[in-house]
Structure 1
Amino acid sequence: MQLEQKFIENKKKKRKIIILLFLIALGLFIVTFSFFRTVHEKRTLPSLKGEKSELAVRGNIVSEDNFNLVSSKKVYKAGLDTRYLNPEKKELFLKLFSIYSGMDYQELEKKIKDAEKSPGYVVLSYNIDSRAAKNLKELDIKLNQLNVFIPRKGGSLSLIRRLEISESGEKRTFSYDDTLTPVLGYNSKFESKDGKTKVNGVKGLERIYNNNLNDSKDGVLKGFRDVISYIYFDKNSIMSHSIDGYSLNLNIPLKLQKNNETTLDIHKKRTHADEILLTIMESHTGKIISMASSNRFNPEKIKQSDIPYLNVNAVEYQFEPGSVIKPLSISLAMDKGLIRKNEYFSAYNQSSVKGAYPIGKFTIKDDHAFPKGNISLDDVVIFSSNIGTLQIAQRLSGPEFYEGMKKFGFTQKTGIDLPYEKKGVMPKLWQFSVGDKQKRDNIYKATVSFGQGMTSTFIQLIKAYSVFNNDGKMVTPQIVSFLSRDGKKYESPYFQAPEQVISKETALEMKRMLIKTVTDGTGRSARIDGLEIGGKTGTAQIAGGTGYLKKYISSFIGFVNDEKGNSYTIGVTVINPLPVRPHYYAAQSAVPVFKEIIQNLIKLNYLYPKEDIISEN
């Protein structure tokens, strides 16, 4: 009986041992199978440590009303080692990859065929966007389940190299085609040290703020890899997030800019001009709220015909400004107390040639006829008298006149945040080859006082005219309001404080005469009821290599104010309008553009005419 009981107990023990051994064997089989399956599905063999980078991109350019005008998008590279592509499933791969990537099927097929001549790794595309990259990573898993990838002949059975998707660089995107060009500028590509595609600014804001926009740092994750080769994060890992470049936040709102560009396009057709330039600047701050040209281009698709449009002519083109210089010349004499109150000046009607002022071998004439023998200071400004202006300028010494114009900002850059700005040319006294010093001084002042024999840029005129609408203080034009990153704001490095150029009294007196020029003089067609508008017309011939051409530049530089305190300095320059009288005169070419720009400001609530204020109350 005892022997039988022992036999039964031994039998139970053996059964338990067999079951235990079976379970252990089953467990080992499952672990081993899982391990080999994991290794089989991996595209690379696992390593103990790993490193992964996260690409940082160039900063954005953002309008005042928070529209992304320019941004950078990450682009991805898709590659494949053709030795791991199952020949029987190649057609399936081509079709699915073409659908998921958006790549042309024939182009893809050709790349695979060319790669198969010399089997190995081939890049299928360098320009995959983030959405397509995500889809392709999901496709890679599906393709592997469908046995599209197989171990290569003669290789390790445990290694399969599948579809590889990785960051290849960045692509600069201009969201609104040609809007705000050429001010925004354009870019060129380059390859960074780690082989990623990056961009550098070539022109415009992209150029002058290039270092700020590109001040970025890639993110890094360093740590141990798990069994499927993914880097996992623990206390020993090192992780830093990517830091993109600084964004530029502009003073320019998108909606106003587009409205103004449409206006310039219409008037370019009307005037048959080569180009029309416009700038609107806050008179008290220097903030530019619109800078437009009729000649624009798409920075992502620059054509051969766009090459003449790539320069920012508002700061790069130098020209003789003509009569818009007269208020500046007269202000210099006024500021030194060289003009008596209620003084009159000779119209030179008593000479043998009516309305002509002889100076050396030159004769200066006026376009406007003055029937009386004398003209008032108001008439000199309102009706743009050359003869009156040069008589006033003669009261200054040559050095006084030169230094005064220099103080108004000529012969130097304005400080605007755009690259390649020109200074213009202000001749010095000794450059006038006249034997007698007095005659030389007189000719110099006479010529330059009404904007001939000198050159300036469009933006220099805008800056100079800001003094008349800002109590004699001159502001520096600024396109960028501030730089930003991670929710923090940083002041633009190009900001400058206003500078007192002439006295407040002189500025207010010239402002009064410029307003009268619009109500009674050459700028009459700029009038809009309920607003304070002033300005000066200027028409000058374009100088060529051997003299003056039968081409003209017409400008109207002025200001507009409302009773709510909105105050803007505005300039319009029309380059080479139809050269037939009177179409090329500023009154017919530039002033109508100026008026329509003010109407755009009213329509978009940047200005409130007096009637509107009354109706609101």
Structure 2
Amino acid sequence: MSSNKIEKINKTKKIAILFMIIFLFLLILIISVFRTITEYRHMPTLQSEKKELSVRGDIVSSDNFKIASSKKLYKASIDTRHLSEDKKELFLQLFSIYSKIPYKKLKKKLQKAKNKPGNLVLSYSIDSRTAKNLKELAFKLRRLDVFISRKVKGGKILRGLSIRESGEKRLFSYEDTLTPVIGYISKFESKEGTTKVKGIKGLEKSYNKVLNESKDGILQGNRDVLSYIAFDKDSVIRKRIDGATLNLNIPLKLQKNNELTLDVHKKKLSADEIMVSIMNSKTGEVLTLASSNRFNPEKIRQKDIPSLNVNAIEYQFEPGSIVKPISISLVMDKNRIKKNELFFAYNTKGKANSKGEFPKGKYKLGRYTIGDDHRFKKHYLTLKDVVIYSSNIGTLKIAQRLTGPEFYEGYKRFGLARKTGIDLPYEKKGVIHSVRQYSAGDRDKEDNIFKATDSYGQGITATFMQMMKAYTVFNSEGYMSTPKIVSHLLHDNSKYKAYDNKPEKVISKETALRMKKLLIQTVEEGTGKAAKIEGLEIGGKTGTAQIARGGKYLKKYISSFFGFVSDGENSYTIGVTVMNPNSTGKYWYYRYASSSAVPVFKEIVQNLIKLNYLTPKNDIISKNK
């Protein structure tokens, strides 16, 4: 046989052997795949559901700062039956580094679980950034064989470190800012076993339903052998929808500046509390509602408990002389005050002092004697004198010109003894006397004691916010607007108006403008002089009342100044109330609003100027002069 033939046969054999090797390799591969398919074919088809937890909505200031928000919390857990005994120490060290949970604390948990092997929760309060790092750690732990597979019926399973959403935590980014108005929350466990929150006070309470109106995101479908969800026509996919976002009318910068102002004056006056509010008179938008008594909703302490209530709507007090413009304007609106009419001051008993001032007026009404705090250089007062010098006697004599029903209905129309409608819970109404009590003496045209005392703010109670709402009347041509803190809501990409504010007609435009002029003169010439700022139109009324408790008046005082400010383009109603300023010894004058509430009012106006809400103008200076 020739060498060529032998070479050809050898070549053929080599090719045959090569094909045989390839065939055997393919056969082994086919058998392996077949066995794998057969092994898993009998495993049950499992439904898998992955949830993305929704959270409570945010509360955002008008200048777009998050006052309150929620962040997700994650749960870190392992199945101790899958943790390799040889790699336990490695796991503890790595998990402690990634989670920042002390090593000793983790080791103690693991030791406690030794008698009950199975699922072990290492932490319920992992934040989102740490959760992301721990998920990366979970992948690394698998590669390091820290967790081992366990045989189960139908195959093997491997469970490593699990990081899942467990609930939410409420954050208050600016700590005590806008408290107690913003309110506070408490935690509860949902039906699904996750941590949720609900509002207890303030805006968190009044808007609790919409803040929590959320839906978890869901991915649901059959799970394949690698534990991934296989999507088909029967799968469920639902996007996550968080609770509604509350957008406030209050800008954070203005609120914060005003709170700092109150902190300074509270210390100076040694007051129990100072409250201030700024409102847009025509729209009812509340730009500031601040208190000197605040708390951090994330860290409420025992001493914070008295500060949890929104005293602007929950504390009822005798308003004092700030009510006088209300009672007088009701008579003016009935055209029962003559032009240039004079009112007797009841101050003729006794001689004038060295300044030419007569004794303080005294008026006898039944068994009561009502006096004035101010000395006058004359025996007869004009309407202007009555208002700018805050005459009790002049006010009560004017108020007697109203019948009982007219007086009662007028006070109710101004918002006394009824809720303001502000979007805060637990609002109180205050108290005025009944129509029957106001009507006593109407038939015989006798002076009525209830009309008398109530006309100058003694014997009735009101809230701070009721007086704010009432004073919008004088600054908006006789109309009264409901105060609102929330501007609008955003939910699931839709915008909703929080309210439809329809102003109420209270008195005529002419009456409102006449009273407005008198209140401006009170600042120009009367008890509100300390509020004057050149280039701005400022009007208002002081009021000082004693605190009543147990049917008796204490030697404690509440001083207030309510009014308005305008630069010709922008106009705001502002109220200040100082609760129990130090009025003893050399500080006796702090009891009077002119020395306590009025200076606070002026600084609040200066804050508005500083932040460009107001611009003083020369033409207003010349007009007021």
Give TM class, smaller chain.
over 0.9
Q: Give the unaligned 5+ runs of structure 2.
A: 351-358
Q: Find the aligned partners of 1:312 and 1:351 in 2 and give their Cα distance.
A: 47
Deviation at 1:111, TM superposition (A): 1.4
Q: Find the aligned partners of 2:232 and 2:576 in 1 and give their Cα distance.
A: 63
Deviation sequence 1:324-383 (CA, Å, 0-9, x none):
000000000000011001111000123578510000100111010112110000000000
Q: What residue number does 1:601 align with?
A: 608
Q: What residue number does 1:148 align with?
A: 146
Deviation at 1:606, TM superposition (A): 0.3
Q: What residue number does 1:313 align with?
A: 311
Q: Which amino acid aligns with 1:518?
A: V
Deviation at 1:233, TM superposition (A): 3.6
Q: Which amino acid aligns with 2:180?
A: P
Q: Find the aligned partners of 1:252 and 1:159 in 2 and give their Cα distance.
A: 56
CA contact 1:46–1:229 (8 Å) conserved in 2: no
2:377 matches 1:371: yes
Q: Find the aligned partners of 1:388 and 1:348 in 2 and give their Cα distance.
A: 9
Deviation at 1:154, TM superposition (A): 9.8
CA contact 2:203–2:423 (8 Å) conserved in 1: yes
CA contact 2:405–2:438 (8 Å) conserved in 1: no
Matches within 5 A, 1:441-480: 442-480=448-486
Q: What residue number does 2:395 align with?
A: 389
Q: Name the stretch that deviates more: 436-445 or 458-467.
A: 436-445
Q: 3-state SS of the aligned residue for 2:186?
A: strand
Q: What residue number does 2:530 align with?
A: 525
Q: 3-state SS of the aligned residue for 2:395?
A: helix
Q: Find the aligned partners of 1:371 and 1:611 in 2 and give their Cα distance.
A: 34
Q: 3-state SS of the aligned residue for 2:237?
A: strand
Deviation sequence 1:287-337 (CA, Å, 0-9, x none):
001110000001011111110000011111100000000000000000001
Q: Find the aligned partners of 1:46 and 1:602 in 2 and give their Cα distance.
A: 72
RMSD (Å) for aligned C-alpha atoms: 2.8
Q: 3-state SS of the aligned residue for 2:550?
A: coil
Deviation at 1:18, TM superposition (A): 3.3
Q: Name the stretch that deviates more: 229-238 or 185-194.
A: 229-238
Q: Find the aligned partners of 1:31 and 1:269 in 2 and give their Cα distance.
A: 84
Q: Which amino acid aligns with 2:23?
A: L
Of residues 416, 430, 434, the one that matches 1:428 is 434
Matches within 5 A, 1:323-342: 323-342=321-340
Q: Find the aligned partners of 2:478 and 2:59 in 1 and give their Cα distance.
A: 33
Q: Find the aligned partners of 2:443 and 2:367 in 1 and give their Cα distance.
A: 15
Are the structure 2 counterparts of residues 89 and 348 from structure 1 closer, same or farther at C-alpha, using a change threshold of 3 Å? same
CA contact 2:408–2:438 (8 Å) conserved in 1: no
Matches within 5 A, 1:533-612: 533-563=538-568, 565-580=569-584, 581-611=588-618
Q: What residue number does 2:354 align with?
A: none
Q: Find the aligned partners of 2:441 and 2:539 in 1 and give their Cα distance.
A: 41
Q: What residue number does 1:224 align with?
A: 222
Q: Which amino acid aligns with 1:547?
A: K
Q: Which amino acid aligns with 2:579?
A: I
Q: Find the aligned partners of 2:31 and 2:64 in 1 and give their Cα distance.
A: 61
Q: Find the aligned partners of 2:427 and 2:274 in 1 and give their Cα distance.
A: 18
TM-score (norm 1): 0.92
Q: Give the unaligned 5+ runs of structure 1.
A: 40-44
CA contact 1:80–1:123 (8 Å) conserved in 2: yes
Q: What residue number does 2:497 align with?
A: 491
Q: Find the aligned partners of 2:267 and 2:38 in 1 and give their Cα distance.
A: 74
Q: What residue number does 1:175 align with?
A: 173
Q: Find the aligned partners of 1:143 and 1:574 in 2 and give their Cα distance.
A: 63
Of residues 48, 57, 60, the one that matches 2:58 is 60
Deviation sequence 1:119-158 (CA, Å, 0-9, x none):
2222111101111111111101111211211246999982
Q: Find the aligned partners of 1:84 and 1:612 in 2 and give their Cα distance.
A: 83
Q: Find the aligned partners of 1:227 and 1:456 in 2 and give their Cα distance.
A: 70
CA contact 1:149–1:160 (8 Å) conserved in 2: yes
Are the structure 2 counterparts of residues 603 and 364 from structure 1 closer, same or farther at C-alpha, using a change threshold of 3 Å? same
CA contact 1:46–1:227 (8 Å) conserved in 2: no
Q: 3-state SS of the aligned residue for 1:549?
A: strand
CA contact 2:82–2:147 (8 Å) conserved in 1: yes
Q: 3-state SS of the aligned residue for 1:158?
A: strand
Are the structure 2 counterparts of residues 68 and 529 from structure 1 closer, same or farther at C-alpha, using a change threshold of 3 Å? same
Of residues 486, 511, 514, the one that matches 1:509 is 514
Percentage of identical aligned residues:
63
CA contact 2:519–2:540 (8 Å) conserved in 1: yes
Q: Find the aligned partners of 1:273 and 1:63 in 2 and give their Cα distance.
A: 28
Q: What residue number does 1:42 align with?
A: none
CA contact 2:75–2:121 (8 Å) conserved in 1: yes
CA contact 1:414–1:460 (8 Å) conserved in 2: yes
Deviation at 1:431, TM superposition (A): 5.6
Q: What residue number does 2:162 align with?
A: 164
2:20 matches 1:17: yes
Matches within 5 A, 1:244-263: 244-263=242-261
Q: Find the aligned partners of 1:48 and 1:113 in 2 and give their Cα distance.
A: 33
Q: Which amino acid aligns with 1:457?
A: T
Q: Find the aligned partners of 1:468 and 1:505 in 2 and give their Cα distance.
A: 10
Deviation at 1:434, TM superposition (A): 8.4
Deviation at 1:561, TM superposition (A): 0.3
Q: Find the aligned partners of 1:431 and 1:124 in 2 and give their Cα distance.
A: 69
CA contact 1:534–1:559 (8 Å) conserved in 2: yes
CA contact 1:47–1:229 (8 Å) conserved in 2: no
Q: Find the aligned partners of 2:438 and 2:567 in 1 and give their Cα distance.
A: 45
Q: 3-state SS of the aligned residue for 1:538?
A: strand
Q: Find the aligned partners of 2:380 and 2:394 in 1 and give their Cα distance.
A: 9
Q: What residue number does 1:97 align with?
A: 95
Are the structure 2 counterparts of residues 433 and 402 from structure 1 closer, same or farther at C-alpha, using a change threshold of 3 Å? closer
Q: Name the stretch that deviates more: 217-226 or 359-368.
A: 217-226
Deviation sequence 1:190-247 (CA, Å, 0-9, x none):
1111111111100000000011111111111122323321214445432110111110
Q: 3-state SS of the aligned residue for 1:588?
A: coil
Q: Find the aligned partners of 1:32 and 1:100 in 2 and give their Cα distance.
A: 41
Q: Which amino acid aligns with 1:477?
A: P
Q: Name the stretch that deviates more: 437-446 or 536-545.
A: 437-446
Q: Name the stretch that deviates more: 128-137 or 530-539.
A: 128-137
Q: Find the aligned partners of 1:435 and 1:344 in 2 and give their Cα distance.
A: 24
Of residues 402, 410, 419, the one that matches 1:413 is 419
Q: Find the aligned partners of 1:391 and 1:604 in 2 and give their Cα distance.
A: 44
Are the structure 2 counterparts of residues 197 and 349 from structure 1 closer, same or farther at C-alpha, using a change threshold of 3 Å? same
TM-score (norm 2): 0.91
Deviation sequence 1:68-108 (CA, Å, 0-9, x none):
11111111111122222222222221221122112222222
Q: Find the aligned partners of 1:513 and 1:88 in 2 and give their Cα distance.
A: 88
Q: Find the aligned partners of 2:615 and 2:276 in 1 and give their Cα distance.
A: 21
Q: 3-state SS of the aligned residue for 2:88?
A: helix
Q: Find the aligned partners of 2:619 and 2:388 in 1 and give their Cα distance.
A: 29
Deviation at 1:486, TM superposition (A): 3.9
Q: Find the aligned partners of 1:231 and 1:303 in 2 and give their Cα distance.
A: 47
Q: Find the aligned partners of 1:132 and 1:299 in 2 and give their Cα distance.
A: 24
Are the structure 2 counterparts of residues 10 and 90 from structure 1 closer, same or farther at C-alpha, using a change threshold of 3 Å? closer
